[in-house]
Chain A
Amino acid sequence: MINTTLFTACFYVYTLALLAAIVALTSSKRWPSRVAQGLFITGFALHTVALLVRWAEAGDVEVAAFEGAEGRILAGWEWFKVWTSHPPWSNLYESLVCFGWGASLVALVGMRRFKVPVLPVLAIGLSMVVMGAASLLINQQISPLVPALQSTWLHLHVATAIFSYPAFGLAAMLGFLYLVKDGVPSETFGAVAAATALLIILAVGGASLILQAEYTLTPLVEHMGKLMPLTYAAQDAEGQTLVSNARLRVPVAGMGPVLMLAALTFLGALVVYAFTRKRPEMVPLFRWMLLGATALLTAALLILVGTVVVNGSLDLDSQQAATRVALNHMGGDGRTLVANFQLHGRGPFVLSLKGNPFEFMLLVVAWIGALGSWVLGLKRDWLETQLPAAERLDEGSYKTILFAFPFMTLLIITGAIWAYYAWGRYWGWDPKETWSLITWIVYSIYLHVRLTHGWEGRLPAALAVAGFGVVIFTYLGVNILISGLHSYAAG
């Protein structure tokens, strides 16, 4: 498929744009920032073309499926209707590339409107992270739309999401820059980044990291010409199914202890931070610990990427070896209970970042946050002189939310109408629905807090930043952690 190649190319162009934007920050000349902008626009144009190409390729799939089912060849208007019936937003991969496209569009508009330094770095970075996550997904295939997804309301639903979610991202960036300009201490940003990194490491590493200092990864196996995560099923002695379709995880040699050490150092940095309020002389120690933790996280990520690149094929051929690994991860009871253990797929197995794309991306985000907050402390004074007046940043963040909030409202409403036609109910307290309501509540709190005397300034700005976290959780986290109707994130 040409489109996935184009999307990957798009990711690389965004990477170049980001590098140029970073160079532009350190340079007093105008050309690096022009180059960065030019590259970003090129990437966006490529992104647009890739989306259209995917739409056309999906159209071919739909036409083929329709003609196969009906046993006749389509022509004219009827062909066009079927050919355009599958816009590229029906599975997770498509959803992510659309989100990335919206992020780039909103970023380009935001960069033009607000002309704030550093904003290009943050905005291009967001597009890059989104496209990077998309490129790591295994299922990039186009499959015919299921009947429940063939609805005009779905298209409106997604279109509102494409504009509102990235706009909340832009508002969060401006809110963050407001907090920087307004004089929130660098250690506070560092502490927030450290706490986030710590949570991410613990969540991603899970019990095996905490209890055994092992970082585990799901290997891939080839199944019917496609790479699939390696899964297993297990039964107890009576033949009762204990687990089915569970993902097998194998440890990445050497990474666990380093990652655990990084987590402990982040924790230590947080403890030190707690003392810096009363004893400012401890700030340098905090910064050293933040740097150390970041270095350890960098090392852990390098071990992971190195293992995958250098030793991609995994020596896991025998059933016994796999069984041992799996039993290890079934916990204490599993050892006695499991009588029959079955691996879905036989070797050769491949260790790849694609086994757990979101876990890897979360670690990358933690790394960016930790490194960014450290660099922020280093360049704080310079940055504050570069940024425009705090009121302008606040105004920009506010106006962006004023743009996004009605779209968010429409997003919920179009979803309700769609659900009403598809399932006969407009609201069912499905986790996804509920989290979209929670997001809406967070931003209505933002709007009311701004109106409240004495609560203006930092609190709404912090809400704008945290709100985007809630948006991302609603968009991806709910699907990964809590199952629901929006099953697109499953594959």
Chain B
Amino acid sequence: MSKPSNATHPTERVWRFFVSIKVTIVLLVLWGLGSVAGTLIPQNAEAWRYVQAYGPETANWLSKLGFFDVYHSTWYSLILLLLILAIVACSLNTLSAKIALAVTQPKTRRVSGTSKHHITRDIPCDDPPTALQALKREMEKDYKNVHVDDSPQEVRLYAHKQAFAHFMVYAVHLGLVIIVLGGVISALFGFEGVMEIPEGESRDVVFKRNESGHAPAALPFALRLDRFELQRFDTGAPKDYVSELTVLDGGQAVKSKRIEVNTPLNVGDYNFYQSSYIEQAALLVTERATGRTAQAVLQPFERRFLADLDLWVRLDTFRVDSQGMSAAVTLARPDGSVQQVTLLPDLEKNRVLQADQPLTVAFAKDRPAYTTGLMVVRDPGALWIWVGSFLMVLGLYLTFYTSHRRLAVQSGGAGVILRGWCQRNPQAFSREIDALIRRAGLPTGDHGAKDSNA
């Protein structure tokens, strides 16, 4: 760590502490170790498992220290918070130096100094003015603006490019900060819930999942299930299922989408995922004597009292396959009389089977009644995650693969002297300068001794 002298002010000391890159490294190490801990200890398991694995005493302590929910623990959040503070502090601390390198220094139109980022070429030539002209012509191909200082003593050329490279590391760090903030927004304002919509109907209430179960919450729009489609294998086992959904805003259809596994519906912050379905039989019961009818939509083993007919109806079995629908239904009067009905895919057979029964049952529709089960996720943080990610990747490429380069040329020595400076990758800059000199028709010469990095 940095060792501030005793004379410095406490706030100054805190500042110095945070802007040290070593503090950032220590925080990164802690972040990594904390993350490892969360993968070694099973997270959010039932309490008895922890007691069994660690004993009650240890389990109690580990629980208090947040080791059973590491990624939501106070200390884990604190590491991330400190890391972000360190990033912000470091960025502010280096800003003035970077402005000096990117803006102030180039204004001097001079390159001086020796370091491994400095490159010098002494080019012997008989006619420096012509050589300078040729170099200026070639420099204009590599640089946007080539300044010419035409003083009585000498001619000087100066150009620089990619000054923005100094600031690209901020894009990476800003990206990380935005990603973390996006995560916080997701955690605070996002939720996960479930929603069930019968075919042909619309719903605008979602059941949020929380610790105690499910709590209803209203959506700012309604969803209608236009059609549910179930694809089956030949055996009748479900293979894939699709919901055709329409978004209704104040009763008006706004948009429609077919959703299935991997293809959710997105409305603003909300995403609707196909997660399950309920398949029911729609039955039509008719009292032969009076001609009165009643409908019941039932799952297997479900029963319902039809008040109109003073009758209990229960669905015993229900099967759908490539032949069609078949079912077994039990009808019971409150007085105890019971009638059992078997429905087969063949309608004619059904009529024959029920020919002299007091009550008849038929499928109300030529297909089962479906209710789609949707998983609803509201995640207002996701957008920020993508924005932060984009910024970070863009920033990484620009940080790694761009470099501020400055180049000054003047007559001197035995001919002309080139002085260059680059922010990173001096080898590449050295090659670039040699190519420039060669294009200008001048000798690159032996410069091994000049470059400390050669």
A and B part of one assembly: yes
Interface, chain A (partner B; CB < 8 A):
69, 147-148, 150-151, 391, 395, 402, 405-406, 409-410, 413, 416-417, 420-427, 429, 431, 434-435, 437-438, 441-442, 444-445, 448-449, 451-452, 455, 478, 482
Q: What is the CA–CA distance of A34 and B367 in the complex, to the nearest angstrom? A: 71
Whether A405 contacts B21 in the complex (CB less than 8 A), given A437-B35, A438-B32, comes out as no
Can you name 26 A-B pairs with beta carbons within 8 Å?
Answer: A147-B261, A150-B262, A151-B262, A402-B401, A405-B396, A409-B392, A409-B396, A410-B393, A413-B393, A417-B386, A421-B263, A421-B264, A422-B262, A424-B273, A425-B377, A426-B186, A426-B382, A427-B183, A427-B385, A431-B39, A434-B38, A445-B25, A445-B29, A448-B24, A448-B25, A455-B22
Q: Which of A391, A405, A423, A438 is in CB contact (< 8 Å) with B35?
A: A438
Q: Which of B39, B240, B262, B382 is in CB contact (< 8 Å) with A148?
A: B262
Q: What is the CA–CA distance of A406 and B43 in the complex, to the nearest angstrom? A: 30
CB of B34 to closest CB in A, whole Å: 10
CB of A309 to closest CB in B, whole Å: 38
Residues A406 and B262 in contact, CB atoms below 8 Å apart: no
* List of B residues within 8 angstroms of A416 by Cβ: 385, 389
Closest-by-CB residue of A relative to B69 is A429
Residues A406 and B396 in contact, CB atoms below 8 Å apart: yes
Residues A442 and B32 in contact, CB atoms below 8 Å apart: yes
Q: What is the CA–CA distance of A127 and B233 in the complex, to the nearest angstrom? A: 42
Within 8 A of A (CB), among B60-99: 71
Does B48 reach chain A (CB closer than 8 Å)? no
CB of B436 to closest CB in A, whole Å: 23
Residues B25 and A438 in contact, CB atoms below 8 Å apart: no
CB of B377 to closest CB in A, whole Å: 4
Classify chain B: how many residues form its interface, as a range.
35 or more
Q: Is the interface of A mostly helix, strand, loop or mixed?
A: helix
Within 8 A of A (CB), among B386-427: 386, 389, 392-393, 396-397, 400-401, 427
Residues B264 and A406 in contact, CB atoms below 8 Å apart: no
CB of B269 to closest CB in A, whole Å: 12
Q: What is the CA–CA distance of A151 and B260 in the complex, to the nearest angstrom? A: 13
Residues B262 and A413 in contact, CB atoms below 8 Å apart: no
Q: What is the CA–CA distance of A426 and B187 in the complex, to the nearest angstrom? A: 12
Whether A406 contacts B28 in the complex (CB less than 8 A), given A413-B389, A434-B35, comes out as no
Does B165 reach chain A (CB closer than 8 Å)? no
Q: What is the CA–CA distance of A427 and B71 in the complex, to the nearest angstrom? A: 11
Q: What is the CA–CA distance of A395 and B263 in the complex, to the nearest angstrom? A: 45
* List of A residues within 8 angstroms of B453 by Cβ: 391
Residues A445 and B28 in contact, CB atoms below 8 Å apart: yes
Given contacts A69-B239, A421-B264, A451-B21, 10 further A-B contacts (CB under 8 A): A150-B262, A402-B401, A405-B396, A409-B392, A413-B393, A420-B382, A421-B262, A422-B261, A434-B35, A445-B32
- Which of A395, A437, A441, A448 has the largest number of chain B CB atoms within 10 A? A441
Q: What is the CA–CA distance of A38 and B53 in the complex, to the nearest angstrom? A: 55
Within 8 A of A (CB), among B180-227: 183, 186, 192
Does B379 reach chain A (CB closer than 8 Å)? yes
Closest-by-CB residue of A relative to B425 is A399
* List of A residues within 8 angstroms of B17 by Cβ: none
Does B31 reach chain A (CB closer than 8 Å)? yes
* List of A residues within 8 angstroms of B39 by Cβ: 431, 434-435, 438, 478, 482
Residues B377 and A441 in contact, CB atoms below 8 Å apart: no
Closest-by-CB residue of B relative to A422 is B262
Q: Which of B71, B231, B379, B393 is in CB contact (< 8 Å) with A409?
A: B393
Interface flags for B350-386 (1: CB within 8 Å of A; 0: not) read 0000000000000000000000000101010010011
Q: Is the interface of B mostly helix, strand, loop or mixed?
A: helix
Interface, chain B (partner A; CB < 8 A):
21-22, 24-25, 28-29, 31-32, 35-36, 38-39, 43, 71, 183, 186, 192, 231, 233, 239-240, 260-264, 271, 273, 375, 377, 379, 382, 385-386, 389, 392-393, 396-397, 400-401, 427, 453
Closest-by-CB residue of B relative to A147 is B261
Whether A452 contacts B22 in the complex (CB less than 8 A), given A421-B264, A422-B262, comes out as yes
CB of A487 to closest CB in B, whole Å: 16
**9 closest Cβ pairs, A-B complex:** A424-B377, A441-B32, A413-B389, A406-B396, A431-B39, A402-B400, A147-B261, A429-B71, A445-B28
* List of A residues within 8 angstroms of B427 by Cβ: 395
Q: What is the CA–CA distance of A148 and B274 in the complex, to the nearest angstrom? A: 12
Residues A424 and B21 in contact, CB atoms below 8 Å apart: no
Q: What is the CA–CA distance of A482 and B40 in the complex, to the nearest angstrom? A: 8
Residues B382 and A448 in contact, CB atoms below 8 Å apart: no
Residues A147 and B389 in contact, CB atoms below 8 Å apart: no
Closest-by-CB residue of A relative to B272 is A424
Residues A438 and B36 in contact, CB atoms below 8 Å apart: yes
- Which of B183, B397, B400 has the largest number of chain A CB atoms within 10 A? B400
* List of B residues within 8 angstroms of A150 by Cβ: 262
* List of B residues within 8 angstroms of A426 by Cβ: 186, 379, 382, 385
Closest-by-CB residue of B relative to A70 is B231
Q: What is the CA–CA distance of A427 and B38 in the complex, to the nearest angstrom? A: 14
Closest-by-CB residue of B relative to A449 is B25
CB of A451 to closest CB in B, whole Å: 6
CB of B6 to closest CB in A, whole Å: 23
* List of A residues within 8 angstroms of B29 by Cβ: 445
Residues A441 and B25 in contact, CB atoms below 8 Å apart: no
CB of A216 to closest CB in B, whole Å: 25
Closest-by-CB residue of B relative to A412 is B389
Closest-by-CB residue of B relative to A409 is B393
CB of A282 to closest CB in B, whole Å: 33
CB of A461 to closest CB in B, whole Å: 16
Residues A406 and B400 in contact, CB atoms below 8 Å apart: yes
* List of B residues within 8 angstroms of A69 by Cβ: 231, 233, 239
Q: What is the CA–CA distance of A357 and B337 in the complex, to the nearest angstrom? A: 67
Whether A406 contacts B25 in the complex (CB less than 8 A), given A147-B240, A147-B261, A421-B264, comes out as no
CB of B178 to closest CB in A, whole Å: 13
CB of A266 to closest CB in B, whole Å: 25
CB of A420 to closest CB in B, whole Å: 6
Q: Which of B71, B192, B397 is in CB contact (< 8 Å) with A424?
A: B192
Residues A425 and B397 in contact, CB atoms below 8 Å apart: no
Residues A429 and B38 in contact, CB atoms below 8 Å apart: yes
CB of B91 to closest CB in A, whole Å: 14
Closest-by-CB residue of A relative to B40 is A482
Closest-by-CB residue of B relative to A429 is B71
Q: What is the CA–CA distance of A221 and B392 in the complex, to the nearest angstrom? A: 51
Whether A406 contacts B385 in the complex (CB less than 8 A), given A424-B264, A448-B24, comes out as no
CB of A107 to closest CB in B, whole Å: 21
* List of A residues within 8 angstroms of B186 by Cβ: 426
Q: What is the CA–CA distance of A442 and B25 in the complex, to the nearest angstrom? A: 10
* List of B residues within 8 angstroms of A391 by Cβ: 453
* List of A residues within 8 angstroms of B36 by Cβ: 438
Closest-by-CB residue of B relative to A405 is B396
* List of A residues within 8 angstroms of B183 by Cβ: 427
Q: Which of B35, B192, B233, B389 is in CB contact (< 8 Å) with A441?
A: B35
Closest-by-CB residue of B relative to A428 is B71
CB of A436 to closest CB in B, whole Å: 10
Residues B21 and A448 in contact, CB atoms below 8 Å apart: yes
* List of B residues within 8 angstroms of A424 by Cβ: 192, 264, 271, 273, 375, 377, 379
* List of A residues within 8 angstroms of B375 by Cβ: 424
Q: What is the CA–CA distance of A405 and B400 in the complex, to the nearest angstrom? A: 10
Closest-by-CB residue of A relative to B192 is A424
* List of B residues within 8 angstroms of A434 by Cβ: 35, 38-39, 71
* List of A residues within 8 angstroms of B396 by Cβ: 405-406, 409
Q: What is the CA–CA distance of A19 and B313 in the complex, to the nearest angstrom? A: 80
- Which of A426, A435, A449, A455 has the largest number of chain B CB atoms within 10 A? A426
* List of A residues within 8 angstroms of B393 by Cβ: 406, 409-410, 413
Closest-by-CB residue of B relative to A153 is B262
Closest-by-CB residue of A relative to B401 is A402
CB of B74 to closest CB in A, whole Å: 16
* List of B residues within 8 angstroms of A147 by Cβ: 240, 260-262
* List of B residues within 8 angstroms of A429 by Cβ: 38, 43, 71
Q: What is the CA–CA distance of A410 and B72 in the complex, to the nearest angstrom? A: 25
